[in-house]
Structure 1
Amino acid sequence: MSQAPERLTRGTSAESIARHLRTEIESGTYRHEQQLPSTRALAAEWETSVATVTRAMQMLTAEGLVISRDRSSRVVNYPGEERRARQETEAPTILVIGGYAGSGKSELGRIIARLTGWPLFDKDSATRPVVEMALVELGSAPSDRESDLYLSKVRPAEYEALRTLTAENVACGNSAIMTAPFIRELRDEAWTRHMAADAEALGATLRVIWIRADADTMQTYIRRRGAARDTHKLAHWDDYLQGVDQDFTPTLPYAVIDNSLSSPPLQEQARELLTAWGVL
């Protein structure tokens, strides 16, 4: 994480801290048997009280995700899931995960990758170094994600690179996950027809997940990751929210995962969906 998270405008509840740490454990950010930061360190990180962090840890301990050891140290207890044995006779899956910034796309992608063993292609991880260099060479800031230069020149190349990486893996018989906002793409009928045609040509099944979250959850994710590309969003948060369509509907069949604070954990929802699809 490049910098400490900023203060949240509404404070941070024990439930919110527990949810975010749970997701970080289940997505592999915190590994099995890794020692967690101390209660005081977590309280400082979240800019909340020791008592609030203690309540969050009690929730995770009750779920079996955290084990307390001597001298108040706590370690992660998440040895991992048994991955489903692959069968060569099965058609590979192209899984598209879209959602607004801070909705939890990358975390959901990591959780599903851990459950299935499928390769994961996250747009930011796959393209950010090249994108930042290109923006600088074109005379813009490396954090630019709002200008016409980025939106019309650089962004389309990012998505094409992601599509190519995925198609190359699927052509080898591997299912693949790609995570990105996909806001323009999933409402563009020409793009969705293109993706469906690609999947058919590759003998693959195309699946789409749209992940939603309430505004406070999205802001928490964005602040915690501390990415320079989010500076403009956070500085103009109310204006940014004006452009967030909580009723966004992709133009092809899709499943919804809700990552709001009141919803079940991402891992639980992911497992239920993969089971319904016959993947697990």
Structure 2
Amino acid sequence: MVAGYAGSGKTEFARFLSDMTGWSVLDKDAMTRRMTERLLISLGGYPHDRHTTLYQREIRSHEYRCLFNSAYANIDANVYMIVSAPFATELHTPGWLDRLTHRCKARGVDVAAIWIHSDNDTMHDYIETRDAPRDA
């Protein structure tokens, strides 16, 4: 798992690890962004919202469920992977990583969680450079 705040470099680091290992990358945004945007619009929200109660209550858990369903399917197919997402709530929830680790261990897989630390100025500069609507 590669985790971190927006603009911290988690996707780039996941790609770097993939280049080194040959493992596939499952990136939450790449997998769910279009679905999330359409769902937010259908619920009367802003398509690039990731902070309001609407997103947090109605959508966020479904994004992560899609990500983990894909990860478990890859595990069952003996595909090594790097999973990239913010995981900010998850990694700060007591017991969450232990439960995930035990669930994966039951499938014969070890989990390593990497948190990408980056200073605010660097993240801000990167977010301005990529100029994605979701960063507005």
Equivalent-residue separation in structure 2 for 1:102 and 1:183 (angstroms): 13
Partner residue of 2:78 out of 162, 169, 173: 173
Pairing 1:105–2:10 present: yes
In structure 1, list runs of 5 or more residues that go unmatched.
1-95, 232-280
What is the distance in 2 between the residues matched to 1:172 and 1:189? Answer: 30
Percent identity between the two aligned chains: 39
Alignment-derived partner of residue 161 in structure 1: 66
Q: How does 1:182-193 map to 2 (within 5 A)?
A: 182-193=87-98
Which amino acid is the alignment partner of residue 63 of structure 2?
A: E
Shift of 1:193: 2.8
Shift of residue 181 of structure 1? 0.8
Greater relative contact order (Cα < 8 A, sep 6+)? 2
The amino acid across from 1:202 in the alignment is R
State the one-letter code of the partner of 2:8: S
What is the match of residue 3 of structure 1?
A: none
Choose which of 104, 124, 130 in structure 2 pairs with 1:219.
Answer: 124
In 2: Cα distance, 1:187 partner to 1:146 partner: 17
Q: TM-score, normalised on structure 1?
A: 0.47
Structure 1 residue identity aligned to 2:99? H
Between structures 1 and 2, the one with greater helix share:
2
Superposition deviation, residue 224 in structure 1 = 1.4
- With the length of structure 2 as denominator, give the TM-score of the two structures: 0.95
**Structure 2 CA distance for aligned equivalents of residues 190 and 212 of structure 1:** 22
Deviant stretches of 4+, over 2 Å: none
Superposition pairs of residues 70-85 of structure 1, within 5 angstroms: none
Which residue of the other structure, out of 25, 32, 35, is the alignment partner of 1:120? 25
Measured on the aligned residues, the alpha-carbon RMSD in Å equals 1.0
Aligned partners of 2:67, 2:130: CA distance in 1, in Å?
22
The corresponding residue for 1:16 is none
Instruction: State the 1:197 CA deviation.
Output: 2.0
Aligned partners of 2:38 and 2:18: how far apart in 1?
A: 29
Q: C-alpha displacement at 1:226, in angstroms? A: 1.1
Separation of aligned partners in 2, 1:201 and 1:184? 24
Describe the superposition over 1:41-63 as per-residue Cα deviations: whole angstroms up to 9, x where unpaired.
xxxxxxxxxxxxxxxxxxxxxxx
Taking the aligned partners of 1:162 and 1:193, their CA distance within structure 2 comes to 18
Counting only pairs closer than 5 Å after superposition, residues 229-268 of structure 1 correspond to structure 2 as 229-231=134-136
